[in-house]
Amino acid sequence: MSFNDKVYEFVRQIPEGKVASYGQIAFMTGSWRASRAVGYALHRNPYQGKVPCHRVVFKDGRLATGFVFGGKDVQRQLLESEGVEFTADGRVAMDKCCWQPDQGCCCP
DNA sequence: ATGCTGACCGAGC
DNA sequence: CGCTCGGCCAGCA
């Protein structure tokens, strides 16, 4: 079980309509400061198809840069299809869609 | 083994 | 309020 595997395992558990930030995943894996490593791990994304990297966004709710899935617009459509709300700024409504495994529910 | 890089985040100016 | 700097972690040359 490597740090990398933890990231994939964590991200894979993200339900539809929910999103998590790199820092959140990093915190779960060990140190919240490892957010960079998390991003790098997802960048390789060896489990592409099993790991919904598109559900992983910034703390601001903004999508990751240099999106590799085909474009931010595509990711937005994909997330919207899953039930994730978006703001006028084009960011994810993390206020409602931030995934909290411990509580199993989003912030009201 | 060492150094650089990167899909980040927080604090400072 | 916007930009810049530093710091941590893992992967690769």
CA–C1' A35–B9 (A): 8
Q: How many domains does chain A have?
A: 1
Is A47 contained in some domain?
yes
Domain that holds residue A77: 3-97
Is residue A107 helix, strand or coil? coil
Full pLDDT tens readout for chain A, 108 residues:
889 999 999 999 999 999 999 999 999 998 999 999 999 999 888 888 889 999 999 999 998 876 667 677 788 899 999 999 999 888 999 988 888 776 444 444
Find which nucleotide's C1' atom is closest to A63's CA.
B7
* B chain positions with any atom within 7 Å of a protein CB: 6-10
Residue A53 is a catalytic residue: yes
A12-18: long-range contacts (C-beta < 8 A, 24 or more apart)?
Answer: A12/A47, A12/A50, A12/A51, A12/A52, A13/A101, A14/A52, A14/A55, A14/A56, A14/A99, A15/A99, A16/A82, A16/A83, A17/A82, A17/A83, A17/A84, A17/A97, A18/A55, A18/A84, A18/A97, A18/A98, A18/A99, A18/A106
CATH code, domain with A76: 1.10.10.10
